Amino acid sequence: MNKNTSVDLDKSRLKDALIVSYSYSGNTHQIAKAIQTITGADWSEIYPWQPYPVEFPELLEQVQREVRNGYKPRLLPNARSPKQYAVVFVGSPNWCGTIAPPLASWLSRHDLSGKVILPFYSHCGGVAGDLAGDIAALCPKADVREALGVIGSGGDDLSAALTNWMDQAKKRSSQISQSPQSRNSLFTQRGAI
Protein backbone atom coordinates (compact mmCIF):
# COMPACT_ATOMS: atom_id res chain seq x y z
CA MET A 1 0.00 0.00 0.00
CA ASN A 2 1.22 3.48 -0.82
CA LYS A 3 2.02 4.96 2.59
CA ASN A 4 1.19 8.44 1.38
CA THR A 5 -2.37 7.44 0.74
CA SER A 6 -4.54 8.58 3.58
CA VAL A 7 -8.27 8.33 3.79
CA ASP A 8 -9.60 10.56 6.55
CA LEU A 9 -11.65 8.32 8.80
CA ASP A 10 -13.80 11.00 10.37
CA LYS A 11 -17.42 10.37 11.22
CA SER A 12 -18.88 11.35 7.87
CA ARG A 13 -16.44 9.00 6.17
CA LEU A 14 -17.61 6.07 8.30
CA LYS A 15 -21.22 6.94 7.53
CA ASP A 16 -20.34 6.65 3.85
CA ALA A 17 -18.60 3.31 4.38
CA LEU A 18 -19.71 -0.15 3.31
CA ILE A 19 -19.98 -3.04 5.77
CA VAL A 20 -19.67 -6.52 4.27
CA SER A 21 -20.03 -9.62 6.40
CA TYR A 22 -20.20 -13.37 6.11
CA SER A 23 -21.59 -15.27 9.10
CA TYR A 24 -22.33 -18.97 9.50
CA SER A 25 -24.18 -18.91 12.81
CA GLY A 26 -25.07 -15.22 13.18
CA ASN A 27 -22.39 -13.75 15.46
CA THR A 28 -20.48 -11.82 12.79
CA HIS A 29 -23.72 -10.41 11.40
CA GLN A 30 -24.61 -9.18 14.90
CA ILE A 31 -21.28 -7.34 15.05
CA ALA A 32 -21.91 -5.93 11.57
CA LYS A 33 -25.33 -4.74 12.68
CA ALA A 34 -23.79 -2.98 15.70
CA ILE A 35 -21.26 -1.27 13.40
CA GLN A 36 -24.14 -0.13 11.23
CA THR A 37 -25.98 1.25 14.25
CA ILE A 38 -22.91 3.25 15.32
CA THR A 39 -21.87 4.51 11.87
CA GLY A 40 -25.03 4.52 9.75
CA ALA A 41 -23.00 2.82 6.98
CA ASP A 42 -24.50 0.55 4.31
CA TRP A 43 -24.43 -3.16 5.15
CA SER A 44 -24.32 -6.08 2.77
CA GLU A 45 -24.34 -9.77 3.75
CA ILE A 46 -22.39 -12.41 1.83
CA TYR A 47 -23.86 -15.86 1.18
CA PRO A 48 -22.16 -18.80 -0.52
CA TRP A 49 -24.08 -20.25 -3.47
CA GLN A 50 -23.83 -23.69 -1.84
CA PRO A 51 -24.67 -23.55 1.88
CA TYR A 52 -22.16 -25.14 4.25
CA PRO A 53 -23.01 -28.44 5.99
CA VAL A 54 -25.10 -28.29 9.15
CA GLU A 55 -23.21 -31.03 11.00
CA PHE A 56 -19.96 -29.85 12.62
CA PRO A 57 -17.64 -32.72 11.55
CA GLU A 58 -18.59 -32.27 7.87
CA LEU A 59 -18.40 -28.49 8.20
CA LEU A 60 -14.94 -28.61 9.77
CA GLU A 61 -13.67 -31.10 7.22
CA GLN A 62 -14.92 -28.94 4.32
CA VAL A 63 -13.58 -25.69 5.80
CA GLN A 64 -10.16 -27.20 6.50
CA ARG A 65 -10.00 -28.46 2.90
CA GLU A 66 -11.12 -25.12 1.44
CA VAL A 67 -8.68 -23.11 3.56
CA ARG A 68 -5.82 -25.48 2.70
CA ASN A 69 -6.54 -25.16 -1.04
CA GLY A 70 -7.34 -21.44 -1.04
CA TYR A 71 -10.76 -22.32 -2.46
CA LYS A 72 -13.01 -19.33 -3.28
CA PRO A 73 -16.64 -20.46 -3.29
CA ARG A 74 -19.21 -19.05 -5.68
CA LEU A 75 -21.40 -16.45 -3.95
CA LEU A 76 -25.01 -15.44 -4.27
CA PRO A 77 -25.10 -12.29 -6.39
CA ASN A 78 -26.75 -10.11 -3.73
CA ALA A 79 -23.54 -8.73 -2.14
CA ARG A 80 -22.86 -5.10 -2.91
CA SER A 81 -19.88 -3.86 -4.92
CA PRO A 82 -17.36 -1.75 -2.95
CA LYS A 83 -16.73 0.48 -5.98
CA GLN A 84 -18.30 3.70 -4.66
CA TYR A 85 -16.90 3.37 -1.10
CA ALA A 86 -13.55 4.64 0.24
CA VAL A 87 -13.86 2.71 3.51
CA VAL A 88 -14.99 -0.92 3.76
CA PHE A 89 -15.60 -2.86 6.98
CA VAL A 90 -15.18 -6.57 6.28
CA GLY A 91 -16.35 -9.24 8.75
CA SER A 92 -16.05 -13.00 9.02
CA PRO A 93 -15.95 -15.71 11.64
CA ASN A 94 -12.43 -16.92 12.41
CA TRP A 95 -12.38 -20.28 10.70
CA CYS A 96 -9.26 -22.37 11.34
CA GLY A 97 -7.19 -19.27 12.10
CA THR A 98 -8.18 -17.29 9.03
CA ILE A 99 -11.13 -15.61 7.29
CA ALA A 100 -13.97 -17.80 6.02
CA PRO A 101 -13.71 -18.72 2.31
CA PRO A 102 -16.87 -16.75 1.36
CA LEU A 103 -15.22 -13.50 2.53
CA ALA A 104 -11.96 -14.49 0.79
CA SER A 105 -14.04 -15.04 -2.32
CA TRP A 106 -15.72 -11.61 -2.10
CA LEU A 107 -12.36 -9.87 -1.50
CA SER A 108 -10.71 -11.58 -4.44
CA ARG A 109 -13.59 -10.72 -6.79
CA HIS A 110 -13.42 -6.98 -6.13
CA ASP A 111 -10.77 -4.33 -6.60
CA LEU A 112 -10.12 -2.73 -3.21
CA SER A 113 -7.01 -0.77 -4.28
CA GLY A 114 -6.66 2.52 -2.42
CA LYS A 115 -9.51 1.77 -0.02
CA VAL A 116 -9.25 1.58 3.76
CA ILE A 117 -10.31 -1.84 5.04
CA LEU A 118 -11.41 -2.26 8.65
CA PRO A 119 -11.50 -6.00 9.42
CA PHE A 120 -13.55 -7.52 12.21
CA TYR A 121 -14.19 -11.11 13.14
CA SER A 122 -15.98 -13.31 15.61
CA HIS A 123 -14.13 -16.18 17.27
CA CYS A 124 -14.33 -18.57 20.21
CA GLY A 125 -10.92 -17.93 21.78
CA GLY A 126 -9.30 -20.71 19.75
CA VAL A 127 -6.58 -20.42 17.09
CA ALA A 128 -6.00 -16.67 16.71
CA GLY A 129 -4.30 -16.31 13.31
CA ASP A 130 -3.62 -12.99 11.56
CA LEU A 131 -6.89 -12.25 9.81
CA ALA A 132 -5.91 -8.71 8.85
CA GLY A 133 -2.71 -10.08 7.33
CA ASP A 134 -4.69 -12.65 5.35
CA ILE A 135 -6.96 -9.87 4.07
CA ALA A 136 -3.94 -7.70 3.19
CA ALA A 137 -2.51 -10.61 1.18
CA LEU A 138 -5.72 -10.75 -0.87
CA CYS A 139 -5.89 -6.95 -1.24
CA PRO A 140 -2.25 -5.85 -1.51
CA LYS A 141 -3.10 -2.33 -2.66
CA ALA A 142 -5.59 -1.63 0.12
CA ASP A 143 -4.81 0.06 3.43
CA VAL A 144 -5.76 -2.72 5.85
CA ARG A 145 -6.13 -1.44 9.40
CA GLU A 146 -6.03 -3.28 12.72
CA ALA A 147 -8.52 -6.13 13.09
CA LEU A 148 -11.11 -6.31 15.85
CA GLY A 149 -11.64 -9.81 17.18
CA VAL A 150 -14.83 -10.33 19.18
CA ILE A 151 -15.69 -13.43 21.17
CA GLY A 152 -19.06 -14.72 19.99
CA SER A 153 -21.33 -11.75 19.35
CA GLY A 154 -19.54 -9.52 21.86
CA GLY A 155 -22.05 -9.16 24.70
CA ASP A 156 -22.59 -5.92 26.61
CA ASP A 157 -19.11 -4.56 25.85
CA LEU A 158 -19.50 -4.70 22.08
CA SER A 159 -20.51 -1.11 21.51
CA ALA A 160 -17.61 0.27 23.58
CA ALA A 161 -15.14 -2.11 21.92
CA LEU A 162 -16.31 -1.05 18.46
CA THR A 163 -16.11 2.65 19.25
CA ASN A 164 -12.62 2.25 20.71
CA TRP A 165 -11.46 0.22 17.70
CA MET A 166 -12.78 2.82 15.24
CA ASP A 167 -11.12 5.62 17.23
CA GLN A 168 -7.81 3.73 17.12
CA ALA A 169 -8.18 3.11 13.39
CA LYS A 170 -8.69 6.83 12.80
CA LYS A 171 -5.44 7.63 14.61
CA ARG A 172 -3.29 4.99 12.92
CA SER A 173 -1.46 5.60 9.67
CA SER A 174 -1.33 2.93 6.99
CA GLN A 175 2.41 2.61 7.75
CA ILE A 176 1.69 1.39 11.27
CA SER A 177 -1.19 -0.84 10.20
CA GLN A 178 1.03 -2.82 7.83
CA SER A 179 3.22 -4.31 10.58
CA PRO A 180 2.05 -7.84 11.54
CA GLN A 181 2.22 -7.07 15.28
CA SER A 182 -0.06 -4.09 14.96
CA ARG A 183 -2.50 -6.11 12.89
CA ASN A 184 -3.07 -8.51 15.77
CA SER A 185 -6.48 -8.15 17.27
CA LEU A 186 -7.08 -5.79 20.15
CA PHE A 187 -9.53 -8.10 21.87
CA THR A 188 -8.46 -11.62 20.92
CA GLN A 189 -7.89 -14.28 23.52
CA ARG A 190 -5.80 -17.28 22.65
CA GLY A 191 -6.82 -20.86 23.24
CA ALA A 192 -7.22 -24.03 21.26
CA ILE A 193 -9.97 -25.33 19.02
Ligand X SMILES: Cc1cc2nc3c(=O)[nH]c(=O)nc-3n(C[C@H](O)[C@H](O)[C@H](O)COP(=O)(O)O)c2cc1C
The binding site for ligand X (CB under 6 A) comprises 23-28, 59-60, 63, 93-97, 122-127, 152, 193
CB 121 within 8 A of CB 147: yes
Identify which of residues 28 and 174 has a Cβ nearer to ligand X in the complex: 28
Amino acid at 144: V
Minimum CB separation of residue 52 from ligand X in Å reads 8
Minimum CB separation of residue 28 from ligand X in Å reads 3
Minimum CB separation of residue 8 from ligand X in Å reads 30
Identify which of residues 45 and 143 has a Cβ nearer to ligand X in the complex: 45
3-state secondary structure of 12: helix
Identify which of residues 82 and 154 has a Cβ nearer to ligand X in the complex: 154
Minimum CB separation of residue 26 from ligand X in Å reads 5
Identify which of residues 30 and 174 has a Cβ nearer to ligand X in the complex: 30
Minimum CB separation of residue 129 from ligand X in Å reads 6
Closest CA to 184 of 114, 110, 111, 132: 132
Amino acid at 109: R
Give the list of residues 6+ apart from residue 144 with CB closer than 8 angstroms, or none: 1, 117, 119, 132, 135, 136, 177, 178, 183
**In whole angstroms, what is the distance from residue 88 CA to residue 14 CA?**
9
β-sheet bridge partners, residue 120 = 91, 148
CA 8 centroid distance within chain: 20
Identify which of residues 124 and 137 has a Cβ nearer to ligand X in the complex: 124
**In whole angstroms, what is the distance from residue 59 CA to residue 132 CA?**
23
Rg over CA atoms, the chain: 15
